[in-house]
Copies of this chain bind each other. A is one copy, B any other.
Amino acid sequence: MSTFGKNIIISLFGESHQEAIGITIHNFPPNIALDLEAIENKLLLRKGLAEISTTRREKDHFKIISGFYQGKTTGAPLTFIIPNCDINSGDYTKGTIRPSHSDLPYHIKYQKANDYRGGGHSSGRLTAPLVILGAISEQLLKEKGIVIASRIKSIGEIVDTIPINQNCVKSLLNDSFPVIDSKIKDEMLKQIKEVKNNGDSIGGMVETVIYNLPAGLGDPFFDSVESIIAHLIFSIPGVKGIEFGDGFDITKKRGSEANDQIQIINDKITFLSNHSGGINGGVTNGEPVRFTTAIKPTSSIKLPQKSINIETYENTTLIIEGRHDPCIVPRALPVINALTSYAILDLLLERKF
């Protein structure tokens, strides 16, 4: 389903090549003066670096058609609409199955009635309303001092090994291609352009950190913080893995290396490490929450691929022209931030007596 949430319920709608896309946000607190400029800035970040992004340049001019009056949220359902303007549906042929796209499973699931153009409802376009959601969530989190930031950890085999820390966060926040090591950043960009020139695509990893979270958020079992974040992150097109704290690497460690020992230092409870990524037993422990997301190479490539036409039921060789990013990592990053902000806001609104 395209709804989610326990406290702030979201309802996402739209398809890539229809009139508009949008989101309705239920139970957002009333009387909040929304920072519309901050929303626009986040939407801009989502477009990625012009030099390596798709040439489909949607303006992403949103309008608020409900829940907003005299510059403030009214408490009624908050609906944002983004019209689809720059549509070029001629690029899509009915029946052509693009490898590793949703074309085939949706064709079956929706009894051939799905709007196949541009991936329909599963299009990356739909992440624009999610970025709006993230922007207004972040605005509330800021009031509590909570900061969420991500960096590109790797592109293909090129890895940024400098650990993320609270000092570099600010510079990451407004960067369309946030990498900590600037030399590595150049290598990554070069790599992407090379791949692009070959008509191919490439994947990468994004690392995300949440600072200043209070301890005690989340639940044992089915609403662990990991469960909720993972649920949302896996809804972003192209995500194939997620790990918290030391993640897959922790499997290679001994308990004596992996445990985060604790001491009272200067009268403050202090963790001597953060292998757990700020979560124990599903609940935040007060340390920064840290997770890494694996993003696959863009499925749309210009190289010839063996495929089929499901309407004619014939084999074909497919070359995807259209306008596509050779690497969706920098464009997925603001969406990861957005859904993380929303996840944390929803957790913060937990029942209180």
Residue among B105, B195, B261 making CB contact with A283, cutoff 8 Å: B105
Q: Name the segment of A36-44, A63-71, A165-173, A176-184 touching the other chain.
A: A63-71
A308-B272 Cα distance, complex, nearest whole Å? 12
Taking the full assembly, how many copies of this chain does it contain? Answer: 4
A60 within 8 A of B: no
In the complex, the chain B residue whose C-beta lies closest to that of A17 is: B69
A215-B109 Cα distance, complex, nearest whole Å? 7
Q: Besides A20-B66, A101-B281, 8 other CB < 8 A contacts?
A: A2-B77, A4-B222, A14-B65, A108-B286, A200-B255, A201-B255, A240-B251, A251-B296
Q: Is the CB of B351 within 8 A of A349?
A: yes
Which A residues are within 8 Å of any B CB, using their own CB? 1-4, 6-9, 11-15, 18-22, 24, 26-27, 29-31, 63, 65-69, 72-79, 81, 97, 99-106, 108-115, 119-122, 126, 140, 154, 156-157, 195, 200-205, 215-217, 219-224, 226-228, 230-232, 234-235, 237, 239-248, 250-264, 269, 272, 275-277, 279-286, 294-301, 303, 305-308, 313-315, 348-353
Residue among B102, B230, B279 making CB contact with A220, cutoff 8 Å: B102
Residue among A109, A203, A205, A272 with most chain B CB within 10 A: A109
Q: Is the CB of A120 within 8 A of B76?
A: yes
Contacts of A306 in B (CB 8 A): 261-263, 272
CB distance from A148 to the nearest CB of B (A): 17
Q: Is the CB of A111 within 8 A of B30?
A: yes
Q: Is the CB of A283 within 8 A of B106?
A: yes
Contacts of A200 in B (CB 8 A): 254-256
Contacts of A11 in B (CB 8 A): 3, 9, 11, 24, 26, 77
CB distance from A278 to the nearest CB of B (A): 10
Are A1 and B30 CB-contacts (below 8 A) given A280-B105, A294-B247? no
CB distance from A138 to the nearest CB of B (A): 14
A219-B105 Cα distance, complex, nearest whole Å? 10
Q: Is the CB of A228 within 8 A of B231?
A: yes
A276-B114 Cα distance, complex, nearest whole Å? 21
A27-B219 Cα distance, complex, nearest whole Å? 10
Contacts of A20 in B (CB 8 A): 65-66
CB distance from A98 to the nearest CB of B (A): 9
Q: Is the CB of A295 within 8 A of B104?
A: no
In the complex, the chain B residue whose C-beta lies closest to that of A158 is: B252
A102-B112 Cα distance, complex, nearest whole Å? 42
Q: Is the CB of A26 within 8 A of B1?
A: yes
Contacts of A313 in B (CB 8 A): 264
Q: List 24 A-B contacts (CB under 8 A).
A: A2-B221, A13-B76, A13-B79, A14-B65, A30-B110, A30-B113, A69-B115, A74-B114, A74-B121, A75-B113, A102-B281, A106-B220, A126-B220, A140-B353, A201-B254, A202-B254, A222-B231, A227-B230, A240-B248, A247-B294, A250-B296, A251-B295, A258-B297, A264-B313
A226-B240 Cα distance, complex, nearest whole Å? 8
Contacts of A224 in B (CB 8 A): 234-235
